[in-house]
Amino acid sequence: MDAALPAAVVATILSRLDVRSLLLAAAACRGLRACASHALAFLPSFHLLEVALTHELLRPLLPPNPSLRSLRLDCARLEDAAIACLARPGLHELLLLNCDNISGRLLCELGTTCRDLRVLSLNSLGARRGLVVNFSDLQELLNGCSQLESLRLALDFSTFDDPNFGHVWASASESLSSLEIGYIPMTMLLELLAAVTEAQQCMDYVKAPVFFPSLQKLCLAVDFITDHLIGSISVALPSLTHLDLQDAPIVEPNSSSDLTNAGLQQINPHGKLKHISLMRSQEFLVTSFRRVNDLGILLMADRCSNLESVCLGGFSRVTDTGFRAIIHSCSGLHKLRVSHGSHLTDLVFHDIIATSLCLTHVSLRWCKLLTNVGIERLSCNKDLNVLDLRDCRSLGDEAVRALSCLPKLQTLTLDGTDISDQSLKYLGLGTCPLTSLSLRGCRKLTNDCITLLFAGPVKQSLQVLDLSRIPSITDDGIMLLARTRTPLNELRMRENPKIGDASVMALASMQLDGGTYGSSLQLLDLFDCGGITPLATRWFKKPYFPRLRWLGITGSLNRVMVDALSRSRPFLHMACRGEELGTMLWDTSTDWYWHNDDDLDELEQWLLEGEPVSDDDTIMEE
């Protein structure tokens, strides 16, 4: 390598690579390794979300670097000892996932060190029992990071309960335009909004602190969405263009702690909203916005004609009249999401072809009165890119036939619908460039659906497939899938009683165009598959499934063998308790998500820096 290119040229080339490509190049030879180590000290961005590194592995990859502006990491294996490695002067963007083992001291350190931070996103900070996140930590962050433009703290704000909570936000950056909070108690939120309103009223005759002068996006999870809350937000934050509220009641709301038609009438008094999301989760209690009917939606639609995105969940008394008002009032609507629309029927889309709508994203979850006729009319929107019809149980093959001709449809979710193998034939021979297809719980499907689906051009585009909870899918069906040699990135087959070891062997043996065995799969979910035995764990050892990063498997299968597999593949995230897998739960926009590498084992080799990986063959044999 040295004889072919001058070191300066190689260094220039490596400096233009992303982190993954740089580390893969470093595994090629000693010369590239030395150049890569040097290039790490000058990278402007360090994005590595596909693996969770320990502090010992991360530290040499993050040497002192005055050019570093963006840092994105999975912190699942990091603790407080890594805080100094994460809080770096000069950072403009910091995105950290799975910060369960890191305490609130990180916030304090960021406020002290990262004065130029513009974007901060933290997930699950201090979630592990015993870790402390104090109000003083939040105070230090807001006081120190005076340039923040976007702040996302996906954590429980009740840990910041303090008499001064409302007033501390006066020290937040005046440039803050986006604020996302995981959960905040209603009392604390109302205290904050009251402080904002009070400051606005005092500005005319005294010098008062300025709260959120630039805030345009607000996303919150609260105890209850109420009329009082909607009114307070509308008064305190007049510049909002994006409002996202979600609640999850643990008791049935009474009239004073619920949303009514009067509350909806208070939304968007200044006409600036572009996105509105009001969602009532049924996580703890089967409930809904029982005090809102069509009149409330009509009043909201009349004041929100400029909306581009509408998400409504749990409006059980709203009928076609209300939903049609949104479609016909909001001429610029691109995204529509309705969940638990128990009175939504085909009439909502009866004359949608007569509108100027250009819908690109539509989600109609748990709308059980919707039939094939409604979807056929919706399919007149030729720009549809994402369609979620989860648990619309009256939908069948004719609906899919209409959708199969959509020229831009890439993501289709049909979980729990009444489709048969014929629907997969329509999709296989259709023209839609599907990249993601979910068929979870479609109980009429059989092994034949595999052959029908991959008989046409969809084989060239499909990357994500969910075949979970389909009792008729067997090992024979997965063998048919392996024979198609479709380069899937993600395959889910959880809770299928007839899927067993033969399926794992077929997938492990699948070879794609000169690649290694099982080389395309990054995620494989086999949780609670009835035929999986300890024998299957042998096939997850190298060299099989070299790019696998997420594996779902039943934890009780054989604890010793599962633990041995975890030690032999330290960068493989194993889920043994039935949790859902995949990065799409966090951030599907990252540049690595659809990135194709020849062999990610080299990445592991470089990260481990030649450290011996324990050979558990003896244990596996036992």
pLDDT tens per residue across span 585-609: 333 333 222 333 333 444 554 454 4
Separation CA 230–CA 608 (nearest Å) = 52
User: Span 19-36, mean pLDDT?
Assistant: 77
354 token code pair = 């007569």
How many other CB atoms are there within 10 angstroms of residue 147's CB atom? 15
Separation CA 600–CA 519 (nearest Å) = 9
Specify the DSSP class assigned to residue 283. S
Dihedral of CA 100/103/106/108: which sign?
Answer: positive
Answer whether residue 608 is part of any domain. no
CATH of the domain at 114: 3.80.10
Separation CA 429–CA 411 (nearest Å) = 16
Answer whether residue 474 is part of any domain. yes
pLDDT tens per residue across span 528-575: 999 999 888 889 887 889 889 899 998 667 778 888 888 888 888 888
Q: Can you point out the beta strands (E) in 480-536? A: 490-492, 523-525
The counts of H helices and E strands in the chain are 23, 20
Helix axes of 320-329 and 294-303: crossing angle, nearest 10 degrees: 10
Number of domains within the chain: 5
Bridge partners of residue 551, in order along the sequence: 524, 574
CATH of the domain at 447: 3.80.10.10
Answer whether residue 192 is part of any domain. yes
Separation CA 461–CA 447 (nearest Å) = 21
Same domain membership, residue 350 and residue 338: no
Separation CA 183–CA 180 (nearest Å) = 9
Same domain membership, residue 300 and residue 385: no
Answer whether residue 617 is part of any domain. no
Please answer whether residues 264 and 292 qualify as being in contact, where contact means their C-beta atoms are separated by less than 8 angstroms.
yes
Same domain membership, residue 338 and residue 349: no
Region class of 40: left (phi > 0), else alpha (psi between -120 and 50), else beta: alpha
Same domain membership, residue 186 and residue 75: yes
User: Distance from CA of residue 27 to its chain's centroid?
Assistant: 31
Q: What is the pLDDT of residue 518?
A: 59
Same domain membership, residue 319 and residue 451: no
Show which of 328, 343, 358 is a domain's final residue. 343
Long-range contacts of 441-445 (CB under 8 A, 24+ apart): 441/415, 441/416, 441/468, 441/469, 441/470, 442/414, 442/415, 442/416, 442/417, 442/418, 442/470, 443/469, 443/470, 443/471, 443/472, 444/418, 444/419, 444/420, 445/419, 445/420, 445/421, 445/470, 445/472, 445/473
pLDDT tens per residue across span 221-270: 999 999 999 999 999 999 999 999 999 999 999 988 999 999 999 999 99
Neighbouring residues of 6: CB distance < 8 A, sequence distance ≥ 6: none
Give the three-state DSSP class for 247.
Answer: strand
Same domain membership, residue 196 and residue 54: yes
Answer whether residue 283 is part of any domain. yes
User: Span 30-57, mean pLDDT?
Assistant: 85
The DSSP code sequence of 339-408 is ES-TT--GGGGTTGGGS-----EEEEET-TT--HHHHHHHTT-TT--EEE-TT-TT--HHHHHHHTT-TT
Answer whether residue 603 is part of any domain. no
Bridge partners of residue 367, in order along the sequence: none
Separation CA 505–CA 499 (nearest Å) = 11
Q: What is the pLDDT of residue 620?
A: 33
CA dihedral 278, 282, 286, 292 (to 10 degrees): 0
350 token code pair = 């009866």
Closest to 379 (Cα-Cα) out of 355, 404, 415: 404
Show which of 294, 310, 343 is a domain's final residue. 343
498 token code pair = 């007839």
Residue 305: is its pLDDT beyond 80? yes
Please answer whether residues 148 and 121 qualify as being in contact, where contact means their C-beta atoms are separated by less than 8 angstroms.
no
Question: Between 501 and 598, where is the model more confident?
Answer: 501
User: Span 502-516, mean pLDDT?
Assistant: 81
Separation CA 100–CA 77 (nearest Å) = 9
Give the three-state DSSP class for 27.
Answer: coil
User: Span 414-439, mean pLDDT?
Assistant: 97
Residue 169's Cβ-side half-sphere holds a number of Cα atoms within 13 Å equal to: 22
Same domain membership, residue 180 and residue 68: yes
Please answer whether residues 419 and 388 qualify as being in contact, where contact means their C-beta atoms are separated by less than 8 angstroms.
no
291 token code pair = 């005090």
The DSSP code sequence of 210-234 is ---TT--EEEEEES---HHHHHHHH
Bridge partners of residue 217, in order along the sequence: 178, 242
In degrees and rounded to multiples of 5, residue 197 shows phi and psi of -65, -40
Neighbouring residues of 5: CB distance < 8 A, sequence distance ≥ 6: none
Please answer whether residues 339 and 314 qualify as being in contact, where contact means their C-beta atoms are separated by less than 8 angstroms.
yes
Closest to 308 (Cα-Cα) out of 361, 351, 247, 345: 361
The separation between the first and the last C-alpha atoms of the chain, rounded to the nearest angstrom, is 45
State the pLDDT confidence band at 1, using cuts at 50, 70 and 90: very low
Answer whether residue 218 is part of any domain. no
> Range with the lowest mean pLDDT among 73-77, 166-170, 410-414, 517-521?
517-521
**Pairing assessment for the beta strands 411-413 and 386-388 based on DSSP bridges:** parallel
Dihedral of CA 65/71/77/78: which sign?
Answer: positive
In degrees and rounded to multiples of 5, residue 509 shows phi and psi of -90, -10
Q: Which residue has the tokens 């008499």?
A: 163
Question: Between 577 and 526, where is the model more confident?
Answer: 526
Same domain membership, residue 305 and residue 192: no
Q: What is the pLDDT of residue 595?
A: 31
Give the predicted TM-score (pTM) of the model: 0.88
Q: What is the pLDDT of residue 599?
A: 37
Please answer whether residues 354 and 331 qualify as being in contact, where contact means their C-beta atoms are separated by less than 8 angstroms.
no
Same domain membership, residue 247 and residue 166: no
On average, the pLDDT of the chain sits at: 88
Using CA atoms, how far residue 207 sits from 103, 142, 173, 175, 412, in Å, is: 36, 21, 18, 19, 54
User: Span 497-515, mean pLDDT?
Assistant: 86
State the pLDDT confidence band at 388, using cuts at 50, 70 and 90: very high
User: Distance from CA of residue 313 to its chain's centroid?
Assistant: 18
Answer whether residue 612 is part of any domain. no
Same domain membership, residue 124 and residue 83: yes
Same domain membership, residue 349 and residue 336: no
Q: What is the pLDDT of residue 210?
A: 78
pLDDT tens per residue across span 109-140: 999 999 999 999 999 999 988 899 999 999 99
% of the chain exceeding 70 in pLDDT: 90
Question: Between 582 and 432, where is the model more confident?
Answer: 432
pLDDT tens per residue across span 62-76: 999 999 999 999 999
User: Span 319-330, mean pLDDT?
Assistant: 95
Q: Which residue has the tokens 């259709």?
A: 430
427 token code pair = 């999709």
Using CA atoms, how far residue 488 sits from 85, 275, 481, 492, 581, in Å, is: 36, 34, 10, 11, 15
**Which residues constitute the domain of residue 157?**
47-212
Separation CA 484–CA 510 (nearest Å) = 9
Same domain membership, residue 200 and residue 136: yes
State the pLDDT confidence band at 205, using cuts at 50, 70 and 90: low
Please answer whether residues 80 and 109 qualify as being in contact, where contact means their C-beta atoms are separated by less than 8 angstroms.
no
